[in-house]
Structure 1
Amino acid sequence: MAQINPPLTSGENRSGAAQNILEVAGQLFARSGYDGVSINEIANEAGVSKANIFHHFKSKKGLYLAALNKACSLSAGVLEDNAVESSDDSSDRVRHFLSSHLEVLLQQPLATRLIQRELLDGAEGNGKELAEKVFAETFEKITDLVRDVQAQGAIKSSIDASLLAFLMVGANVFFFENRDLMAHLPGIDFAGAPDRYSEAVFELLAHGFEGQS
């Protein structure tokens, strides 16, 4: 089996053993999906016993949800960046979120693929559990950022903040998934320039695409 890569992220409030298990499990789940990974495989790769895994994580599902939360926390970390929190220019806060979020997706591909695999291939009917246990907190923070910017007048208050939050995240995920394809499509010159892509997305979302009247 391929060697396990460096940790998805660091600094979580877990013991060293639990952190190691979580890092290994997250990367295996990202590669093979929930059903494609066994507890035995995780134990072997992490160098621990199955009993040790179940000491820290009560079930395979619990470990999987913890791995998803760990991956999702990378996006949440962008929102806690000083450049997002403290900028006096509300537009710059959105710009920085877009560019930093995309940077995280590109720099942490296994974490990104873990989330994408679950969203695309996960069991039907998991939406409620995933929303409540994994995505709700981060999505709420992104939506709050949009509302703050709306309150400062940089984005029209008539725009649904939740929809705009979805569009921002979705635009970045689309770039992550399709940048290789985009590099070979005619007329596209931003496939290798994520910063320029983020700026263009911001301009489109902030100012729309209607011409001057």
Structure 2
Amino acid sequence: MDEESKSSLRQRILEEAARLFVTQGYDGISMREIAEAVGVSKAGLYYHFRDKEDLLLAVLTAYLDEVERLIQEARRQNATAREQVAQFLRGIFAQPLEKRAIIRLASQEMAHLHPETRAAFGRLYREKFIAQVEAILQEGVDRGELALSDVRLATWMLLGMAYPFFYPAHAREMGPPDQAIALMISLFFDGAARRGQRMLNE
């Protein structure tokens, strides 16, 4: 098998494993079943991944790489922090629900990773996701667009509004993504109070 074929097979394994982890859970699926779903032998699966833990970590890391790419694309635009946040949220929400649900694995299945692997993934999660969003908000503060006393806390609050949409069951109850994004952006950047009331409070 040439390198291109190996890369293509590895990608197929990641995609099928992600689907099965999301729908069946880490404990609900075996390496044999993953191999059968992909259409390879167990030996072929173990050629690419040491064990199921290694495969789960690869699935999570691959998704973080994609999220990081979406955020960096938004950051490269000559746009305000508000516009950049809206762009990367649209990119994430354009993904199929089952793909977005991969992020759920990061919180629900972490116990299956060894402590050192879990710590390594935690660093990747902060570097590729949290820190990237935090940078958008910090740059907005630096440009005078935002007045945030704690950018890190604001980052978690912003993402806290988005996290329910990474869960298929919740996302289906919350209506069209564009509507949800518009409301999140409005709440985070403008607040919920009427404009006149905000001015009185100030």
Q: For the superposition of Structure 1 and Structure 2, which TM-score range results when normalised by the shorter chain?
A: 0.7 to 0.9
> 1:116 aligns to what?
104
> 1:7 aligns to what?
none
How is 1:43-192 mapped onto 2 (pairs within 5 angstroms)? 43-81=35-73, 83-101=74-92, 103-104=93-94, 107-120=95-108, 122-123=110-111, 128-134=119-125, 136-158=127-149, 160-177=150-167, 178-182=170-174, 191-192=175-176
Q: Distance in 1 between matches of 2:13 and 2:166?
A: 27
Identify unmatched segments of 5+ residues in structure 1: 1-13, 183-190
Tell whether 2:167 aligns with 1:199. Answer: no
Q: Distance in 2 between matches of 1:27 and 1:56?
A: 18
> 1:15 aligns to what?
7
Structure that is richer in helix per residue: 2
Report deviation, 1:207. 2.8
Identify unmatched segments of 5+ residues in structure 2: 1-5
Between stretches 16-25 and 131-140, larger displacement belongs to 131-140
Between stretches 170-179 and 19-28, larger displacement belongs to 170-179
Report deviation, 1:70. 1.7
Q: 1:176 to 1:44 in 2, by over 3 A?
A: closer
Q: Distance in 1 between matches of 2:64 and 2:148?
A: 28
Between stretches 61-70 and 18-27, larger displacement belongs to 18-27
The aligned amino acid for 1:112 is R
Q: Distance in 1 between matches of 2:69 and 2:179?
A: 22
- Please report the TM-score for the alignment, with normalisation by the length of structure 2: 0.78
The aligned amino acid for 2:160 is G
RMSD: 2.5
